[in-house]
Amino acid sequence: MGTVGKALDLLDLFTRQRAQVGLSEMARLSGLNKATCHRLLTEMESRGLVEQVGAAREYRLGPAVLRLAALRETAVPTRDAAMPVLQTLARATGETAHLSLREGDKLVTLAFAYAPTHATKVMMEDADILPWHATSSGQAVLAFLPEAEQVALLSHPLRRLTDVTETDPARLRARLDDVRAKGCAETAGTFESDAQSVAVPLFLHGEAAVGALGVAVPVSRMTPERQTLIRRHLALAATEIIDLWGGHVPPAVTALWQRLT
Amino acid sequence: MGTVGKALDLLDLFTRQRAQVGLSEMARLSGLNKATCHRLLTEMESRGLVEQVGAAREYRLGPAVLRLAALRETAVPTRDAAMPVLQTLARATGETAHLSLREGDKLVTLAFAYAPTHATKVMMEDADILPWHATSSGQAVLAFLPEAEQVALLSHPLRRLTDVTETDPARLRARLDDVRAKGCAETAGTFESDAQSVAVPLFLHGEAAVGALGVAVPVSRMTPERQTLIRRHLALAATEIIDLWGGHVPPAVTALWQRLT
């Protein structure tokens, strides 16, 4: 791995729960020695990508990421463009709607919207990484990727997150055939035991999925009628978002989604 | 300069006007050879920081910057927190309000808001880099930095952007004494000949400014009354933003701003 990759991997150590990381912890988490960590962080700090704060001089993400994100949104309106559709989807289904994007070998939550309807709802974390095998979003994307990529993304050991998480790659890949035939993925209790979810893939210019749009429902509230309603609204919302992104839905998927609506 | 710094500097070649850059242009703009550029870009691409698009395989900023920005906003609500205040400031003054943050040796526009009042207004570009010497925002920040940093930031050749841009570092530094004494900076036609602007520094935890809040007005509309009104609203809005950021206004500045309101 190159120096730049090593430096950028340090940025992934920041999470919502761990917004600040000290140098020693950075070294421990990354497996790099402290001197290397310090050198990489200092270079990133000089460009505003990280900054040091507080008496302990811990590191956190710096202001440059905001400027870069603003530029990216100007060039490719993604989050800003999808946000109103996501809010409409949450209102229409009465449930939590969320959008995730693929970044290399990760699937990352980009945005979500809650419905005002119910006191109980599935809570999402901004910028969380979704496990490919255990989420409907992950399966929706996987099903619409070339086989070689499916295999690669499922080649890491798959964690059993609940009693019903499928961790066998072969059985998972068989399930993906199903998802591909339906144009949407559904999971129940495989990521968190009390949540059920439905997701459809999102596309940009090609046949390969670039992300997913999902709706998550507390298990206690899911009914066949609600599931049908959610599938229909997901197909409509996904079409709208892809259109706002200036992309297009592959014709085969359009045909599948017409059956859902 | 280290490899990481070189790679990150390539990201600065993307601007609002130049959202996509081909490899050859990247090499030309950066002064690096094509092989080096390609290696650095490939490493950044594998982490989602850039991506290649179109038949020409040009590079643009990648989706990872959105995730990093969402994490940064969760840890340090900056743009999201300031946005409503910025909108109120634009409405209250009837003019364009903007917020910039210092990133190393650059001052970068993070957000802006237009007033609905007038058909003519000063237009801002998202993510533009503001020249320290020629803008009221630049001068507001410089005036509240340690002398060594002022000298360093003004040590590059200063470009004469209009007929009245001050480009002599010594005379500029004398002007900064004035800004420091008043708690706000005012420029007329030094950046764009038909725009006048007023700005106050923004602070977080220390005595050194971290950015600026400004209001820009077409020269034709500026009057002493409007200037007084803008100064007052700027002092109030800056106090509110710093409070929302969890920072504090240095006591000496609070005293100055009380005279403005």
- pLDDT digits 0-9 by tens, B220-255: 889 999 999 999 999 999 999 999 888 899 999 999
CB-based contact B39 A2, cutoff 8 Å: yes
Nearest-by-Cβ selection for B103 from A3, A48, A126:
A48
CB-based contact A110 B66, cutoff 8 Å: yes
Q: What is the pLDDT of residues B12-67, one digit of tens each?
A: 999 888 999 999 999 999 999 999 999 999 999 999 999 998 888 999 999 899 88
Nearest-by-Cβ selection for B110 from A67, A101, A127:
A67
Do you know the residue count of chain A?
261
Q: What is the pLDDT along chain A (261 residues), one digit of tens a residue?
A: 789 999 999 999 998 889 999 999 999 999 999 999 999 999 999 999 999 988 889 999 998 998 899 889 888 888 888 988 999 999 999 999 999 999 888 898 888 898 887 767 787 765 588 999 999 999 999 999 999 999 999 988 888 988 889 999 889 999 999 999 999 999 998 988 888 999 999 998 889 999 999 999 998 889 999 999 999 999 999 999 999 888 899 999 999 999 988
Predicted pLDDT at B247: 87
- Is residue A155 within 8 A of residue A169, CB to CB? The reply is yes
Domains plus CATH for chain B? 3-66 (1.10.10.10), 76-260 (3.30.450.40)
Nearest-by-Cβ selection for B71 from A3, A5, A127:
A127
User: What CA–CA distances, in Å, run from B39 to A6, A7, B43?
Assistant: 14, 15, 6
| Residues linked to residue B51 through DSSP beta bridges, in sequence order | B60
- Residues from chain B contacting residue A70 (CB–CB below 8 Å): 69, 79, 110-111, 126-127
User: What CA–CA distances, in Å, run from A77 to A115, A183, A247, B66, B125?
Assistant: 24, 25, 12, 11, 15
Asked casually if ipTM beats, i.e. exceeds, 0.95, the reply is no
- Residues from chain A contacting residue B64 (CB–CB below 8 Å): 103
CB-based contact A72 B63, cutoff 8 Å: yes
Predicted pLDDT at A121: 78
Name the minimum distance, in Å, from the CA of B201 to any CA of chain A. 17
**Looking at chain A, which runs of residues are DSSP E strands?**
50-53, 58-61, 96-103, 106-113, 129-130, 185-188, 195-202, 211-218
* First-to-last C-alpha distance (Å) of chain A: 46
Instruction: For residues A203 and A102, give the distance between their C-alpha atoms in angstroms, rounded to a whole number.
Output: 11
Nearest-by-Cβ selection for A14 from B66, B71, B103:
B71
- Residues from chain A contacting residue B7 (CB–CB below 8 Å): 4, 7
Name the minimum distance, in Å, from the CA of A223 to any CA of chain B. 33
